[in-house]
């Protein structure tokens, strides 16, 4: 099996669920404690052994490229004022030269189209997809767990977590065939089924490992739900041709594409922050009286 070396991170979305905050700021740069969302996602991928990060951008997303570059005036000022700790934190955001690539999604045609836009940069090798709305605080991260699972079973994988049966209509869920520990062989995926019709209560999370064959399917994929090219439609087609597993991942994941999820992430990660946790937990307790 070829190793998973590359990850596609679609960042062209408008962030409509968190407007008006994203009117002038890319949603991927919304801060959670002291880092933007995109930094958590890239860090999780790096921890999984990913070497190349492919960001699918759109109009108004130039600030994301700037984030992963040197800020010479800022760095010089921090150095001059001997703020070495802050300088080190800033320098950690700069990847190795050539590790980050950018391609443009010129029209909002859906997640499937965004992934297809990265086809020339991926080439003929398996790859990961990470959605920047969802961030993980747990280590090993979801992508590390998925790469480990891929090394056992190969093929294609989606990350899943268990949700209450009555919530299946909010998510895409998997149709299971058989289970071995945290791995479920799938027969397909169903988008937002009614609880009575749901084939399982395992909802799909925004982490995927896919074979490059997905690109040929996406190229000819018609528009689906919402008038967009849906990645799920092509994954279901690929599931008919190749092995497809769901990986039940351990740890919490936060949907920061919603206002509530973003607030929950700030509280959870704020309480884990060594510098802030003591004072922050005291403040939270004071607000509950």
CATH number of the domain that residue 123 is part of: 3.90.550.10
> Residue 225 has what pLDDT?
67
* % residues pLDDT > 90 (the chain): 67
Mean pLDDT of the chain: 91
The tally of domains found in the chain comes to 1
* % residues pLDDT > 70 (the chain): 99
Beta-carbon contacts of 95 under 8 Å, excluding residues fewer than 6 positions away, are 42, 53, 68
Asked, for residue 248, whether it belongs to a domain, the answer is yes
- The answer to whether residue 121 scores a pLDDT higher than 70 is yes
Is 103 within 8 Å of 118 (Cβ atoms)?
yes
Q: Predicted confidence band at 138 (pLDDT cuts at 50, 70, 90)?
A: confident
- Structural domain of residue 25, as residue ranges? 6-287
CA distance 289 to 286: 6
Asked, for residue 231, whether it belongs to a domain, the answer is yes
Asked, for residue 1, whether it belongs to a domain, the answer is no
- The answer to whether residue 228 scores a pLDDT higher than 90 is no
139 vs 228, higher pLDDT: 139
CA distance 217 to 281: 49
Q: Predicted confidence band at 154 (pLDDT cuts at 50, 70, 90)?
A: very high
């Amino acid at each position: 099996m070829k190793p998973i070396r590359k990850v596609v991170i679609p960042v062209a979305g408008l962030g409509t669920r968190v407007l008006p905050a994203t009117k002038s700021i890319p949603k991927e740069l919304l801060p959670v404690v002291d880092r933007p969302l995109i930094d958590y996602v890239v860090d999780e991928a790096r921890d999984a052994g990913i070497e190349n990060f492919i960001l699918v951008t759109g109009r108004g997303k130039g600030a994301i490229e700037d984030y992963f570059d040197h800020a010479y005036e800022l760095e010089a000022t921090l150095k001059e004022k001997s703020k070495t700790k802050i300088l080190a934190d800033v320098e950690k955001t700069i990847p190795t030269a050539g590790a980050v690539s950018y391609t443009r999604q010129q029209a909002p045609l859906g997640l499937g189209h965004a992934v297809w836009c990265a086809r020339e940069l991926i080439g003929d090798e398996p790859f990961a997809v990470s959605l920047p709305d969802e961030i993980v605080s747990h280590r090993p991260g979801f992508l590390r767990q998925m790469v480990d699972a891929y090394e056992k079973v190969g093929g294609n994988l989606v990350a899943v977590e268990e949700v209450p049966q009555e919530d299946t209509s909010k998510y895409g869920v998997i149709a299971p065939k058989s289970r071995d520990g945290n791995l479920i062989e799938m027969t397909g995926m169903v988008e937002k089924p009614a609880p009575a019709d749901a084939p399982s209560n395992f909802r799909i999370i925004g982490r995927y490992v896919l074979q490059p064959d997905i690109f040929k399917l996406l190229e000819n994929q018609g528009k689906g739900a919402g008038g967009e090219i849906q990645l799920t439609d092509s994954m279901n087609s690929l599931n008919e041709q190749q092995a497809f597993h769901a990986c039940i991942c351990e740890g919490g994941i936060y949907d920061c594409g919603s206002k509530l999820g973003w607030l929950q992430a700030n509280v959870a990660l704020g309480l884990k922050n060594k510098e802030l946790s003591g004072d922050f937990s005291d403040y939270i307790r004071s607000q509950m009286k």
